[in-house]
Copies of this chain bind each other. A is one copy, B any other.
Amino acid sequence: MTDPKESLGKVRERIDSIDRQIQELISERANWAQEVARVKGEGLSAIDYYRPEREAHVLRMVVDRNKGPLSDGEMVRLFREIMSSCLAQEDPLKVGFLGPEGTFSEQAVRKHFGHAAYGLPLGSIEEVFQEVAAGHADFGVVPVENSGQGMIQVTLDMFLTSEARVCGEVELRVHQCLLSRAAALGEIRRVFAHAQSLQQCKTWLRINLPDVECVAVSSNAEAARLARHADDAAAIAGRTAGKVYGLKPLAEGIEDRADNTTRFLVIGRSLFPPSGNDRTSLLITVNDKPGALYDVLSPFAKHGVSMNRIESRPAHTGKWQYAFFIDVSGHIDDAPLQAALGDMGPVATQVRVLGSYPVALP
């Protein structure tokens, strides 16, 4: 048997040598990023080099290559940060979001742009649109959909009156688990969770734990902390909290909507080329007459363009007009989507391409 101290020393030597290589490669990568800047022209800012389609492509390759032991999410996070640092050698990207700092929106900014971008906390979703339009922010990140509450209307309405383009989407996912020291559901008498989480898991709780006492506490982390001291208690929280507090997941994915996600849009001022796996957001205005919706949707079906979302809003352009926000698969440069829009005909009084952008990474 080898001496643990000796083998620890050897492992550390090995890690040191790996770190040396990683560092050399990161420096080389940063030099090549400067070379991209040189090719594109002098005196430009990060916004001039930033290519969401290229970043999405790089990150997809990272996921494809990943054989562990790090999770796809962790590996993508590390490459996002490496790209963020390389890009920020020029003036960093300015990204507006609904402040203050530390909100879910800032998490979305960091997930998408990394920590080397310059975050601009703003007072409202409207202000995010305004600052992007005025060029004070290069991009903005705004929430557009919460799987609990549905579409966020103020964000959709901003597209009716602004020229903003959609340049990306970010998804933050929360999977709720029932965590406990207990071995089986039958032993649970109390469930601790933040009020919002109790709400999100209402149906599951009614069916699976009809007689337990539900106790709202200040956070799910607090809930897990309380549950760790009782054999008859459980907490609703994320998987990580279970690992952290030494609680077993008795059930996973217990939120009523299987997919408890907040979706954000990255807004900017331009359209970007295809990344290979894209989505397109359209704003289509129609006159309110029988069959209008059918007439708008049938060209997509005809040309095999699959729709991901549709949401209608009263248009600001005229009485009895409706605006449909439609998300479809593919890039606006793709032939089927071009054909579908070509077939839209006179029913649509306006067709605006809000943007074509890479589908969100996990």
Contacts and interface: CB of A to CB of B under 8 A. Distances in A.
Contact of A23 (B11, B33, B65): B65
Contacts of A28: 18
A186 interface: no
Contact of A85 (B14, B25, B30, B74): B74
A22 B26 contact: yes
B85 A116 contact: no
Contacts of A116: 74
Contact of A88 (B19, B34, B74, B121): B74
A121 B70 CA distance: 26
A36 interface: yes
A12 interface: yes
A190 B35 CA distance: 40
Size category of the binding interface on chain A: 35 or more
Contact of A81 (B21, B81, B91): B81
Contacts of A66: 23, 27
Nearest to A3: B39
Contacts of A161: none
A302 interface: no
A94 interface: yes
Contact of A70 (B75, B89, B103, B244): B89
A67 interface: yes
A19 B62 contact: yes
A77 B69 contact: no
Contacts of A7: 39
Interface string A24-53: 011111111111100110000000000000
A68 interface: yes
Interface string A1-24: 000100110011011101111110
Given A19-B61, A20-B65, A26-B75, 18 more contacts: A14-B32, A15-B29, A15-B58, A18-B25, A19-B29, A19-B79, A22-B22, A23-B66, A26-B78, A27-B69, A30-B69, A31-B69, A69-B89, A70-B86, A74-B85, A74-B116, A78-B81, A94-B244
A-B interface, 10 closest residue pairs, ranked by CB to CB distance from nearest: A102-B102, A101-B102, A74-B85, A91-B243, A18-B29, A22-B25, A30-B69, A30-B70, A118-B244, A4-B39
14 contacts: A4-B39, A8-B36, A11-B39, A12-B54, A16-B58, A19-B79, A22-B26, A22-B29, A22-B79, A26-B70, A78-B78, A78-B81, A115-B115, A121-B219
